A and B are shown apart, each in its own frame.
Chain A
Amino acid sequence: MRIMFLGTSSNSGKTTVAAMMCRYAAINGISVAPFKASNLSSSWHITGSGSPIGIGQAFQAVASGIAPDDDMNPILLRPEKEGVVRYLKGSPCAISDDAAFSEVLASFDRIAGKYDLVVCEGSGSPVELNLKGRDIANMRMVRERGIPSVIVGDIERGGVFAAIYGTWKLIPEEDRRYLRGFVINRFRGDISVLYPGIEELESITGMRCFGVIPYADLRVPEEDTSVSEVSCREGLVSLDELLSACRDSVDLDGMLRISGT
């Protein structure tokens, strides 16, 4: 079983939704682990074996009830003086994108070998025209391992229907079959206001809406910030609160079902 959360932009809430999925699966007795091919961050968590991985994946691992592992986030991109430097499991590496991608696949396969469900998280938006061909963290991963995917859109700034539709549209037609649905994140107000838009989006894209996540002041450590210490306990409490707030508005079982297909 495997599932990928793709974002319409950075900070759209992928990390949180993936953490919810991890937590929900773990609570239901499924052995689950997080995975993110590549992370751009200036802060990280050091695993037991001494490698840095993204804070988001470390948190998701804890939410899954397991220890963070190097393979959960094989590549870290660190902004340094001379530009962004790529680290493979803690060491700077000057290998080609293809070689890096083989390492990523190897990590994914090891995780998939150990756990029943792998909850993957993409990086930024999967359809950056300026990164085309160089992006190994999103659709290349999905294609190579046939991962059912869900788009996470952030409604806080508005334009969420356009963002989800545009992301779907820019994904090459042959890959759209992996796009199984979408979720709308950070909503405030009365959900019924959204229904006409959700129905229209479902009918034009053929994707299913797996739900609407209410706005929450999550104490989950966020990516792309310079948070240095992780208070996972506090984070888990807020994650559980969010899960219970989503009981009626998000179809987590539905997402579990597609992860097995």
Chain B
Amino acid sequence: MKPVWSRVSKEIEGELAGTNTSCPYHPSHFRNQECTFCYCPFYPCEDPDLGEVAESPRLGRIWDCTHCNFIHRKDVASYVHGRLRASGISGPGDPALEELFRETKTKFHRKGKAVMILGATSDAGKSVIATAICRILNDRGYSVTPFKSQNMSLNSRVTHKGHEISMIQDLQARAAGVSRPSFRINPILMKPKGDGMSQVVLEGVPAGDYSSADYYSEFVPGPGTDALKRSIDFLQSRYDFVVMEGAGSPAEINIYDSDIANMRAAKAADADCILVVNVEWGGSYAYAVGTLDLLHPEDRRRVKAIILNNLRGNVSGMRAAAEELEEMTGVPVMGIVPHLDFDLPKEDSESFRGVKSVGKGRTVVAVPKFPRISNFTDLDPLLHEDVTLRFVSSPEEMEGAAAVVLPGTKSTTSDLEWLRRTGIAGRILSLKGEVPIMGICGGYQMMGRILRDPFGTEGEPGDTEGLGLFDMETEWPGSGKKTERFGGTYIPTGDPISGYEIHSGMSSSSETPMIKTRTGTEGSIREDDMLFGTYVHGIFDKPGFRRHFLSKAGCALSVEIVDHDDHVENNIDKLAHGVMEAVDAELFDRIFMEGRL
């Protein structure tokens, strides 16, 4: 402990540091954090409200402060700094230090304010509004975390600790400025597999497949409810704000009592609620009134505001009606948010359904529209160049394609059969050597010689012949799943690649590897045939490899070189700004800031 205390001593001698954005480790916990105590004077406090016990592969059992923000609060840092200067505390073991910790905690520690964003329907704009609110609050210097108890999606991400969470909560964590989100921001992730079954990922780890009926009768009352409470307690004791997102409508009276994604979560966190209604389809007043009236009275009392979202047209034409709605329900309308122009990853196939192509570029990239397509946000960065993404369901639609990308899928072997049945597989093989062909995750597995799935993880048990573009075999061992963040360099050009892997099938390839990592290699490449394959999601995020791949497709590259992370960051700001412009700032402060200013 000695060497650390010597650092602390320097911190005490120095001035309050403020937010040190020039530090290479910034933000170590959250954007806009107070950096005075890079080394916490109270480490290891062993207070379960702040840190947690973890196993480190190098150090064994350690006290882990990854998700503690306490010493990085401006008020806390300033108080502790002043007291330590005045007290002459000698270091760890000094009873006065322990006393100061207890005193500081009593004085400053409190449960974070929870606000839940409810939607009158799915696609109401809950996650977008929650994303905006995360950014607005973090811009004001607070520690903020998103939360959604249960999310059904095939778009997931991997945390730094290797847990799987929904893509959208990961995005919200970015908006909130959280540097290392915990799986607790989305403790339940349901990944539909087809046939009414979903793989349930519980606290970041697969916990088996459930039918909808079993999910509600077995999972929800037991492990689901426990995980919900654990997560909310954890987050509320560590963050100033917990911005919660509901799921679907909270007023589904047929399943009201078994719904842990909406009012039960709100109750567990004692959250105030904001109801978001999408006005685009009409009937929004009926949806608003109906949703409020069907909530149980004690739940309805939580709803402090309504947001009318996604208005295309004249806001002033809606004001009088909004006032009438307020009068009728007693709930104020916090804002009429216009249809905002921003570009952020979309939650789900919900918004994907029916879409035939995206973008208006000259280079057509054909993407087979797998029935179980997953992590299709991988493709978004391609649109920074002169590209049209065309989602194809037949070989005819591949006419004119300058490149093919086989995306990820929840069910590799059954989607491979789909690829054959539609005739797309044959067309892809005929394009070998003509246009670049790339497979990501499930799409990469398909490019091999054979896929062995003896336990039926991905479809019917047995072997499936692959496309044979790579000399590679993939096998599903029946249990286990690789979920890891990834970093490396693209071997032919040395460009950096970052992303994450999520897969349970494991491949052994005798091809030339595509990516070099710190400890080995990843992927397969045949440069002469323009064949690329990798497990890495997010492969196109960094501009280097993306542009290399597209140049093979004859794509005219844009002058501006866009890093996808910067693009997302800018669009979060744009969204937050648009939402703040449209809402009543006074009401916003009344809901979020009461007792906090």
Contact = CB atoms under 8 A, between A and B. Distances in A.
Interface of A: 7-12, 124-125, 127-130, 132, 157-159, 161-167, 169-170, 189-190, 193-198, 200-201
B290 A167 contact: yes
18 contacts: A9-B287, A10-B282, A125-B282, A127-B285, A129-B285, A129-B321, A130-B318, A157-B122, A157-B123, A158-B248, A162-B290, A163-B287, A166-B286, A166-B293, A170-B285, A189-B196, A193-B255, A197-B254
A9 B254 contact: no
Contacts of B283: 7-10, 12, 124-125, 127-128, 163, 166-167
Contacts of B286: 8-9, 125, 127, 163, 166-167, 169-170
B121 A166 contact: no
A72 B293 CA distance: 37
A159 B321 contact: no
B281 A130 contact: no
Given A130-B317, A130-B318, A159 B248 contact: yes
Contacts of A10: 281-283
Given A125-B286, A167-B283, A162 B294 contact: yes
A29 B442 CA distance: 55
Contacts of B253: 161, 196-197, 200-201
B122 A158 contact: yes
B89 interface: no
Nearest to A164: B290
B212 interface: yes
Interface string B396-434: 000000000000000000000000000000000000000
B249 A158 contact: yes
A157 B286 CA distance: 15
A157 B283 CA distance: 13
Contacts of B317: 130
A125 B282 CA distance: 6
B281 A9 contact: yes
Instruction: Name the prevailing secondary structure of the A interface residues.
Output: helix
B318 A165 contact: no
Given A125-B285, A170-B289, A197-B252, 16 more contacts: A8-B283, A9-B281, A9-B284, A125-B283, A125-B286, A129-B285, A158-B119, A161-B252, A161-B253, A161-B254, A161-B294, A162-B249, A162-B251, A163-B283, A166-B285, A166-B288
A108 B459 CA distance: 56
Q: Which of A124, A158, A170, A195 has the most CB of B within 10 A?
A: A158
Chain B interface size range: 20 to 34
B254 A159 contact: no
Interface of B: 119-123, 196, 212-213, 248-249, 251-255, 281-291, 293-294, 317-318, 320-321, 324-325
A17 B231 CA distance: 45
Contacts, number: 120
B347 to A, nearest CB: 13
B174 to A, nearest CB: 27
Contacts of A165: 290, 293-294
Given A159-B121, A189-B196, A169 B252 contact: no
B329 to A, nearest CB: 10
Contacts of A12: 283
A159 B120 CA distance: 6
Contact of A166 (B119, B281, B282, B290): B290
B282 A124 contact: yes
B285 A194 contact: no
B340 to A, nearest CB: 20
Contacts of A167: 283, 286, 290
B254 A162 contact: no
Nearest to A151: B286
Nearest to A166: B290
A165 B292 CA distance: 10
Contacts of B212: 189, 193
B290 A130 contact: no
Contact of B291 (A124, A162, A194): A162
A166 B196 contact: no
B281 A128 contact: no
B73 to A, nearest CB: 38
A24 B62 CA distance: 72
A129 B122 CA distance: 22
A166 B324 CA distance: 14
Contacts of A162: 120, 249, 251, 287, 290-291, 293-294
User: 5 tightest A-B contacts by CB?
Assistant: A166-B290, A197-B254, A159-B249, A162-B290, A125-B283
A115 B253 CA distance: 40
A196 B254 contact: yes
Nearest to B247: A158
Nearest to A171: B286
A7 B294 CA distance: 19
A169 B254 contact: no
Q: Which of B283, B284, B291, B294 has the most CB of A within 10 A?
A: B283
Given A9-B283, A164-B290, A130 B320 contact: yes
B287 A159 contact: yes
Contacts of B294: 161-162, 165
Contacts of B321: 128-130, 132
A170 B293 CA distance: 12
B88 to A, nearest CB: 61
Q: Which of B119, B212, B291 has the most CB of A within 10 A?
A: B291
Contacts of B196: 189
Given A10-B281, A129-B321, A130-B321, A157 B293 contact: no
Contacts of A127: 283, 285-286
A149 to B, nearest CB: 14
A32 B501 CA distance: 60
A127 to B, nearest CB: 5
A197 B290 CA distance: 13
Contacts of B252: 158-159, 161, 197
A249 to B, nearest CB: 16
Contacts of A159: 119-122, 248-249, 251-252, 287, 290-291
Contacts of A124: 282-283
B289 A166 contact: yes
A166 B213 CA distance: 28
B312 to A, nearest CB: 12
B290 A129 contact: no
A229 B71 CA distance: 67
B197 to A, nearest CB: 13
Contacts of A200: 253-254
A161 B281 contact: no
Contacts of A166: 283, 285-291, 293
A8 B288 CA distance: 12
Contacts of B289: 166, 169-170
B583 to A, nearest CB: 19
Contacts of A195: 254
Q: Which of B212, B249, B281 has the most CB of A within 10 A?
A: B281
Contacts of A128: 282-283, 285, 321
A116 to B, nearest CB: 31
Contact of B121 (A129, A157, A193): A157
B254 A193 contact: yes
Contacts of A8: 283, 286-287
Nearest to B319: A130
A7 B121 CA distance: 16
A165 B427 CA distance: 51
Given A128-B321, A159-B120, A162-B287, A198 B282 contact: no
